[in-house]
Amino acid sequence: MFAIAASTVTSWGLYVLLPIFIAFLFFVIWDLSKKSDAGRAGTFWMFLALGAGFIGFVLKILIEVAFKKWFI
């Protein structure tokens, strides 16, 4: 009836749903730091750990785009 290609589902999941999930994780970390009274330093380290993963995800996308543009 409704056929959706696997590549479409993958790209939607990777480029739309995963960033939404990461934003939700930022909210969870913020809420956790407030409820546990982590203080400024604890909140900083919690966000740094999650932010490093997010930065890696964004860099991966940028590197893929650069390789497609310049090498392929």
Q: Residue 57 above 80 pLDDT?
A: yes
What pLDDT, on the 0 to 100 scale, is given for residue 1? 59
Query: Average pLDDT in the 49-68 region?
Result: 87
Report d(CA 47, CA 50) in Å as an integer. Answer: 5
User: Domain extents for the chain?
Assistant: 6-70
Query: What is this structure's pTM?
Result: 0.64
Confidence category of residue 72, pLDDT binned at 50, 70, 90: low
- Confidence (pLDDT) at 34: 92
Residue type, 50: L
Cα–Cα distance measured from residue 33 to residue 51, given in angstroms and rounded to the nearest whole number: 15
What's the mean pLDDT in 9-21? 86
